[in-house]
Amino acid sequence: CKVDHCTRQFQQAAMMSGVRRGPSPAFCVILRQYSDCLRSTARSCRGHLAYHSTITLVQNWNGDFNCSYIGGGSAPAPLPIKDNGRFRNHDHHSTSNLHAAKMEDSYSNDKTVTSSSAERTTSLEPTARVYVRPEKPLNSLPITGTNVVMEASPACTYQGRPEVTHCSFYGD
């Protein structure tokens, strides 16, 4: 599994071009190369934790920074996320459902469990969304080995009305 090799390539390319992470064509191009590299080693990375986490991360960045629309080559195939019994594509421009389905295979056990638990929750709808803390500088990408940082659990986030209220009890 060459996930570390792909990550090093990505970091070097980012550092040499001086591009910052964000919705820019230059970053999308580098992200696209990174995604291609990861895909090329997919077969040997079946079940490799860091690989699967990295793939998810790259796809989320692709979505966060709209690389499918900004350009930088065609977008990496999105991972369909099962939501309430329906497959919902993260990105409407998926290149091939079959390819995505294959990728789906490599995750399906985890995601399905989460989603099905979503199906069982009451009115509080969890989301199946993973995203990263944006302020991390590019050169300290938390992608290698066990050093993966994910920001929010894909399930169990309050989805009701955002209006909040406060109660406090203090003093004598």
Partner 1 sequence: PHLVTFNGDFQTCKVAGAWPLIDNAYLAVSVTNEAVVPGSAATATTKITIIIKGGSDCAPERTYEAAVDSVPASFVDGSQWGGPLPPGSSALPSSALEHLVPVRIVDKEPGRHVEIHARHLGATLIVRQVGRYLTFAAKLPRDIAQQGAGREGLQLCVKGCPASERIDVATVLLGTGHGRHPSMPSSGRFYRSQTSESPSSLVKGMTRDAALALCREYNLTDYYLDSCMFDLMTTGDPSFSLAASRAQSDYLSLLPDAAYRLANRTWPLGASGSS
Q: Where along the sequence are the contacts to partner 1 (CB under 8 A)?
A: 49, 52-53, 56, 107, 110-111, 113-114, 117, 120-122, 124, 126, 130, 146, 148-158, 160-172
Nearer to partner 1, 16 or 170 (CB): 170
Question: Measured from the CB atom, is 122 or 140 closer to partner 1?
Answer: 122
Nearer to partner 1 (CB atom), residue 137 or residue 162: 162
- Mapped to the 3 state alphabet, what secondary structure does 11-65 carry? HHHHHHHCCCCCCCHHHHHHHHHHHHHHHHCCHHHCCCHHHHHHHHHHHHHHHHC
Least distance from partner 1 to the Cβ atom of residue 162, Å: 7
In this structure, what token pair is assigned to residue 47?
């079940």
Work out the angle at residue 93's Cα, subtended by the Cα atoms of residues 137 and 80, and round it to the nearest 5 degrees: 75
DSSP state of 136: S
Min separation Cβ 60 and partner 1, Å: 13
CB of 127 to partner 1, least distance (A): 11
